[in-house]
Structure 1
């Protein structure tokens, strides 16, 4: 029989964000089997409740995204870079799936583990350890592979090597990708806004990972981790060019860049002393997102023009957790505690040039450059949580009270670049807030294969630096600004769920209802200034209340004759209680069904993905229609070559035109150009991998 791996409760470290029945895990084997190269692939059929907004670089879980969804890598929080003025947002996708041992998905509110930013859930990334490569009792291991992805015509080689000498082990991993524009169903190859064919684009990407581990007596392990990731993309933006427009053919190139570096000192313990287990990391992480363009204007402010917008955040921090098991009478306790302390610095800057520097014309009034749209912001955070899972004797009932305290401080600093801001902003006041987020979970576990649970948990998110302090615009045009008087978002989350089964037969089901207070959104400012800003003022404000409810279900069955079937469905609906409109950030209902056959040496899978159209009641600008697509894939492990695996797949088998509601919800299109925003048609993936 071939091995079939299914999503189940995450096998997380004590105190980790995925140590909850609300979590599921996508293993490395599943990632390779589904040929996953992007977060969109992860949510395509493996985790249908997970989405990714390519426009904002944001993970979306249960209708929340951006700074409301926490991303971690090896437990370390990865900041979402929230550039509210120039679009250099994102940063949570700056990793390569070939470097991962698995992905943990936490759905819903549970700030006791995640802290500020975990309102919608958590995307937990776990990188490879040396032990993941060792096979057949050897003290060394390696893999190498290459993947072709027809959706963007990319080639992705990767490899890793691990070695163990005595109590010391080391791992080196690297990957590279070179590709082009993401294909769509658009075919009209013209210049200007009527173009539907994708703009020509080229990108390069590389990822490097190094780990050193040393085991000490008594169950202690120390180590160091270093990572480097880079992605650069150039796009010939033909939709911005026309024969008679401001940018003529060949005179506008878009730039996009992302970078992440991380160094951490790591510690783990599993020795059964005063604490039964513990983990900790002292880390430095730096992330940067950059967007811009080079061009030549021919009608307005004639001459060469360029912009380069960057958003950078550097964080120093410590994160650690521990677990203690003990009994008091007939009560069995599993106490988990954790600490999260960090200091960060974020900076935004826009550099560039044009002829506004030489001569002033009215069109220059909103073409601001060589300035910062935010002050430099020094941030600090402190988080402390404690959970106690209490087993009630032999009853199989467990009660888990818990809570987390968070303190956040953001202090703006005046810089020369912010002083050059055309809107002449004053330095705003600092922001400080704290919150206690309690939770209570009740579970019934009559066996190792069944758990029924109910949970109530509060959540907390402090506003980002951009939501507090950004300022873009100028007299005579418009103004977009932050609001230093914002209040932090809070939430109440209720969930009932059940899990049952093993690799052969199982299911998981949940229903949830979440309410959010002080939801932060950009709105029309209460006070307008038509004399200085005739085109209006927008600023970030707190909405009174927002609610999101839904359900999720997944099941699988593996038969003795080699066949296997699986299915899942994810539904959520969000509503603005002030306006009654459905939230466009909440994706429509999605269902996935698959059937497969596997032997020891080969297998195949057929997957159907169906998504409902966006409701007319939604506040989304573009109401994406529903669709159904089919993927088919196969794999082969030649008996004659140990460790070799060949995989291939045809995705969107019937070449269907469809749209991702998350990516197009804020898009204004016409029926003549909507195919420009469509998803890839029929395409192929082929990979070859060898383990040693």
Structure 2
């Protein structure tokens, strides 16, 4: 059991917190009251108060010094409208992984990164059989099913710490918080609204969004909606031909919309209840020209791809803040939710022999769940305690189906489910106690989370015709439990600087795809198989760092080291007849270490400077090779100037190249440096109006996203395009107009 390695640490640290002497009175440890000083004319001047502490709700995954918040204002100022913008203009440690349909953090992505929206986990869905040669049918993901215009903030939590979020939190978490009525309603008013429109030349997209909120007595209501329409994302290629030598991006069209509704009712005694409904949908259609014509399998002008991201949820929400110190609980949060996530990917058209051809891979997860936390703040024997308990429970149904239209082999290979229908149940209990030791500035937070999950696969439905089922054995139920402990120590060095150190464990339960997938191709003589005996992945990490905020100077610095065990990877084996099997297996160990830092300084004359950097190194301890899922060193540095009505920012993104893994086939992306220039204007004649524009990659440099091309084999005539095909956009611009009412 995981807790075996940490039990003694928790006991020792908790005992230390109990017996450490308190050298000063408890009153001094409270936030300092405003100090009064007398001036020459006997006027009293109050000194500035610096308000510290996380704004995350107690019990939130982001309620930790290892988290950083990106507010809606920052998203607007940095013109963040897509996933890639975060790692380019906001945080050097963030990268987007398109293949996994989500973010990459500290070298991990996919199911190893937790994504939540309003406290509700977004599941990760996948089908391993529809990757590689079936790249046009890759429907993996889940964390990419949201719209930035619907967010009030986004929290990035770094490190392996499943005591905060449960399964999947091996590299960290992205905590999405959607708009609330109070985000739109100004002080002294009972209504508020915001409208926004953006044009982005990168994909020639235009978007519009609107949100409004109204308060009547103790009832608040919010509507938000957005729509975006665009085309393919540009690159630096200039060859518009068909087939092997094409370098321009394939022509594409997409439609995306998001709808959000919230109803909130404030009750006496600090209680609030609410209803939330949300819908997100993005539909992409692509003319797959690089797969058409001479040397390719498909007819020119008749082969298209499609991707669909679709997520719906309805939740009943409850919040409580105690009105007096003697209340039984200091605060409480609870959510009862329904969430449905669907992803599709496929292609259709005609082959070079003029034969109809089509594939579609559909994956869906429907979940019903409950998440609740409660905190109690109290003082005992000179120690301040903030105890948090939590309960999470969910039931879910997973389904997958592959449709195929082609030759006579399709009924056996495609018109079936490659992952069975699975009913799953999970239960989690959380405990955490933040112990503040008098006025020493020192606090110790031991905690743990117990997770239990159960999978029940079915061999009926579309899986009944799967030929791999009879060939590779029956499926079995799977039940597993794990305990994830952690110990966090913080020290307030000054009122503006907090130091921290944390030891924590993260774990990830295997996905239903990794456990139960079956794909058998007798013609191609290979099989892709899940493994019902997989062990959960485990990460044990240590991190030390500091956060500081003086008002005009903010930042953080951190160093971390995490060792992972039972990594789930695909292992290839070939039998005596030449039949190849790709099977999920636990490998022994990998380590990822690194440093991160960021800082922003604002001067009284309006000048500001900012920098963010991230470096990590990952190593497979079995092969002693570099982990190519870990991004190279990257830094964002820049500065600007602003006043009440105008401002600009000049920033540069600098990245090292992908380390050489001694392979003669994989593409090691070179380092690069690009420059972005943005500016904004809020005219005095039109209160509430904001005009913002930016020129990106000002010098039109060719560069590559190292993670996006880490598996590209440029020497393969059948599986790759020329180098320029994989390049990022050249010079682009973005313009947005926002009006707040």
Task: Report the TM-score, using the length of structure 1 for normalisation.
Answer: 0.95
Instruction: Tell whether 2:499 aligns with 1:455.
Output: no
1:605 is aligned to 649
Instruction: Tell whether 2:257 aligns with 1:206.
Output: yes
Matches of 2:480 and 2:671, distance apart in 1 = 42
Question: 1:9·1:25 contact (CA, 8 Å) conserved in 2?
Answer: no
1:471 is aligned to 518
2:142 counterpart SS class: coil
1:50 is aligned to 94
2:708 counterpart SS class: helix
Question: 2:100·2:109 contact (CA, 8 Å) conserved in 1?
Answer: no
Instruction: Tell whether 2:499 aligns with 1:445.
Output: no
Instruction: Tell whether 2:337 aligns with 1:286.
Output: no
Give 1:355 deviation, angstroms.
3.6
2:714 is aligned to 669
List alignment gaps of at least 5 residues for structure 1.
1-7, 357-363
Instruction: Tell whether 2:553 aligns with 1:502.
Output: no
1:18 counterpart SS class: coil
Matches of 1:507 and 1:308, distance apart in 2 = 46
2:571 to 500, 523, 528: 523
Instruction: Tell whether 2:592 aligns with 1:544.
Output: no
1:423 counterpart SS class: helix
User: Cα–Cα, structure 1 residues 278 and 400, in superposed 2: closer, same or farther, change >3 Å?
Assistant: same
User: Cα–Cα, structure 1 residues 615 and 245, in superposed 2: closer, same or farther, change >3 Å?
Assistant: closer
1:681 counterpart SS class: coil
Give 1:535 deviation, angstroms.
4.5
User: Cα–Cα, structure 1 residues 638 and 365, in superposed 2: closer, same or farther, change >3 Å?
Assistant: closer
2:476 is aligned to 429
1:371 is aligned to 416
Question: 2:412·2:467 contact (CA, 8 Å) conserved in 1?
Answer: no
User: Cα–Cα, structure 1 residues 306 and 204, in superposed 2: closer, same or farther, change >3 Å?
Assistant: same
Q: Deviations over 1:299-339 (max 9, x none)?
A: 3xx51111111000011000111111111111111111211
Instruction: Tell whether 2:738 aligns with 1:689.
Output: yes
2:178 is aligned to 127
User: Cα–Cα, structure 1 residues 121 and 74, in superposed 2: closer, same or farther, change >3 Å?
Assistant: same
1:98 to 139, 149, 153: 149
1:303 to 355, 367, 370: 355
Give 1:471 deviation, angstroms.
1.2
2:535 is aligned to 487
1:3 is aligned to none
2:100 counterpart SS class: coil
Give 1:386 deviation, angstroms.
0.9
Q: Deviations over 1:507-561 (max 9, x none)?
A: 2100000001100011114xx4444xx3411110001011000000111111111
Q: Deviations over 1:164-206 (max 9, x none)?
A: 0000000000000000001000111111021100000000000
Question: 2:244·2:295 contact (CA, 8 Å) conserved in 1?
Answer: no
Matches of 2:690 and 2:410, distance apart in 1 = 59
Question: 1:614·1:626 contact (CA, 8 Å) conserved in 2?
Answer: yes
Matches of 2:411 and 2:583, distance apart in 1 = 17
Give 1:245 deviation, angstroms.
4.2
1:514 is aligned to 562
Give 1:340 deviation, angstroms.
1.1
Instruction: Tell whether 2:633 aligns with 1:589.
Output: yes
2:404 is aligned to 352
Matches of 1:621 and 1:60, distance apart in 2 = 20
Q: Deviations over 1:107-164 (max 9, x none)?
A: 1011111101001000000000000011241100011110001111000100011000
Question: 2:186·2:192 contact (CA, 8 Å) conserved in 1?
Answer: yes
Q: How does 1:566-577 map to 2 (within 5 A)?
A: 566-577=610-621
User: Cα–Cα, structure 1 residues 457 and 298, in superposed 2: closer, same or farther, change >3 Å?
Assistant: same
Matches of 1:647 and 1:623, distance apart in 2 = 36
Question: 2:423·2:456 contact (CA, 8 Å) conserved in 1?
Answer: yes
Give 1:367 deviation, angstroms.
7.5
Give 1:369 deviation, angstroms.
1.4
Q: Deviations over 1:627-653 (max 9, x none)?
A: 000000000000011100000000111
Matches of 2:622 and 2:570, distance apart in 1 = 15
Give 1:615 deviation, angstroms.
0.7
Question: 2:493·2:499 contact (CA, 8 Å) conserved in 1?
Answer: no
Moved more, 644-653 or 37-46: 37-46
1:684 counterpart SS class: strand
User: Cα–Cα, structure 1 residues 576 and 245, in superposed 2: closer, same or farther, change >3 Å?
Assistant: closer
1:586 counterpart SS class: coil
Instruction: Tell whether 2:689 aligns with 1:644.
Output: yes
Give 1:239 deviation, angstroms.
0.6
Matches of 1:51 and 1:215, distance apart in 2 = 39
Matches of 1:672 and 1:284, distance apart in 2 = 42
1:17 is aligned to 61
Q: How does 1:208-247 map to 2 (within 5 A)?
A: 208-243=259-294, 245-247=296-298
2:455 is aligned to 410
Question: 1:584·1:618 contact (CA, 8 Å) conserved in 2?
Answer: no
2:625 counterpart SS class: coil
Question: 1:379·1:409 contact (CA, 8 Å) conserved in 2?
Answer: yes
1:321 to 373, 384, 392: 373
Give 1:410 deviation, angstroms.
1.2
Matches of 2:295 and 2:699, distance apart in 1 = 39
Moved more, 204-213 or 367-376: 367-376
Q: Deviations over 1:271-326 (max 9, x none)?
A: 24211111110000000100011111133xx5111111100001100011111111
Matches of 1:659 and 1:83, distance apart in 2 = 27
Question: 1:365·1:474 contact (CA, 8 Å) conserved in 2?
Answer: no
